[in-house]
């Protein structure tokens, strides 16, 4: 079954989607990884993608900032737009797109540079700062928004890789925020972190909500329940169900969703 986002209950009134996907199909060579997926993502809500391994949730996430372009044999059909602008249009500058649609990965991957340089790198190459003072401001504000300033302010010149795993992940979020994106994609951002570091990331996601459209892929059902307001369940490349998170976790409409979230799947 495919879900028509137009029929989905909206949270709030007149919510304009930040990103929309319509009839998206993704192929890796002959293999079809995503089948006819249509979905809307808004800034007001954190959207969680859940589903078993290989269901296509990460593949679909990576379509949202064209990360699949770098995969050999990957082909994306259908229309994905950011503020009604087709991101697969030939005129789209992919570097700009990825600044607008940032990404945080499963394993924290700070550059082997100082904490300061990790955050400053993006704004500098995108020409967001004219003077050193501007850049200092951007770095501080990004680290503050990522909840890392107090821990990092006295060691800005130390290597980012010397931080703890949880700090590194928040550094990566600060790095994504520094270029002032509109959308942040997170691919299992907490799976390598301990519960305390996970809780801090989840709190951070909640604080960033509203300011950025956030899409998070997670294997942790409880995490999806905690951080998101909308949840999409993927299975075998299709979007099975997309609804308010509270509805998905208390009374899902589709048997496949129910079997998956209650641990009865396969």
**Under a CB-based contact definition with an 8 Å cutoff, are residues 231 and 248 in contact?**
yes
- Per rule CB under 8 A, is residue 70 in the interface with another protein? no
d(CA 31, CA 15): 35
- Per rule CB under 8 A, is residue 138 in the interface with another protein? no
Q: Which residues pair with 232 in a beta bridge?
A: 49, 242
- Per rule CB under 8 A, is residue 53 in the interface with another protein? no
3-class SS of residue 72 = coil
Q: Which residues pair with 187 in a beta bridge?
A: 217
- Per rule CB under 8 A, is residue 262 in the interface with another protein? yes
Residue with tokens 């955050």: 119
- Per rule CB under 8 A, is residue 51 in the interface with another protein? no
> Is 133 exposed, middle or buried (CB count within 10 Å of its CB: 0-12, 13-18, 19+)?
exposed
User: Which residue in 185, 225, 227, 232 binds another protein (CB under 8 A)?
Assistant: 225
User: Which residue in 129, 192, 221, 236 binds another protein (CB under 8 A)?
Assistant: 221
Least distance between another protein and beta carbon 224 (Å): 10
User: Which residue in 9, 12, 195, 263 binds another protein (CB under 8 A)?
Assistant: 263
User: In this chain, which stretch among 8-16, 160-168, 174-182, 221-229 interacts with another protein, using CB under 8 A?
Assistant: 221-229
Contact string (CB under 8 A) for another protein, positions 230-249, x = contact: -------------------x
Closer of 118 and 245 to another protein (Cβ): 245
Can you list the pairs that 151-159 forms with residues at least 24 positions away whose Cβ atoms lie under 8 Å? 152/115, 155/115, 156/114, 156/115, 156/116, 157/114, 157/115, 157/116, 158/114, 158/115, 159/112, 159/113, 159/114, 159/115
- Per rule CB under 8 A, is residue 254 in the interface with another protein? no
CA max distance for the chain: 57
- Per rule CB under 8 A, is residue 173 in the interface with another protein? no
Least distance between another protein and beta carbon 35 (Å): 24
- Per rule CB under 8 A, is residue 222 in the interface with another protein? yes
How many residues line the site for another protein (CB under 8 A)?
16
Residues that bind another protein (CB under 8 A): 221-222, 225, 249-252, 257-259, 261-266
């Amino acid at each position: 079954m495919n879900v028509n986002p137009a029929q989905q209950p909206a949270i709030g009134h007149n919510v304009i989607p930040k990103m929309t996907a319509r009839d998206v199909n993704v192929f890796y060579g002959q293999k079809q990884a995503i089948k006819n997926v249509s979905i809307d993502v808004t800034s007001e809500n954190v959207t969680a993608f859940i589903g078993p391994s290989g269901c296509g949730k990460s593949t679909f996430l990576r379509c949202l900032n064209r990360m699949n372009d770098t995969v050999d044999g990957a082909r994306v059909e259908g229309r994905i737009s950011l503020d009604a602008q087709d991101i697969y249009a030939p005129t789209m500058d992919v570097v700009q797109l990825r600044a607008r649609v940032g990404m945080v990965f499963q394993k924290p991957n700070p550059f082997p540079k100082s904490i300061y340089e990790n955050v400053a790198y993006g704004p500098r190459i995108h020409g967001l700062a004219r003077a050193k003072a501007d850049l200092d401001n951007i770095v501080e504000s990004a680290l503050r928004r990522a909840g890392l300033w107090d821990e990092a302010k006295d060691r800005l010149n130390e290597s980012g890789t010397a931080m703890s795993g949880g700090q590194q992940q928040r550094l990566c979020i600060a790095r994504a925020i520094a270029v002032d994106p509109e959308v942040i994609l997170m691919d299992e951002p907490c799976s390598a972190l301990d519960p305390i570091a996970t809780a801090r990331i989840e709190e951070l996601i909640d604080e960033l909500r509203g300011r950025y459209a956030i899409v998070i892929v997670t294997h942790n059902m409880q995490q999806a329940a905690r951080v998101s307001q909308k949840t999409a369940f993927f299975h075998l490349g299709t979007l099975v169900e997309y609804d308010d998170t509270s509805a998905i976790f208390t009374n899902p409409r589709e048997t496949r969703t129910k079997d998956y979230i209650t641990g009865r799947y396969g």
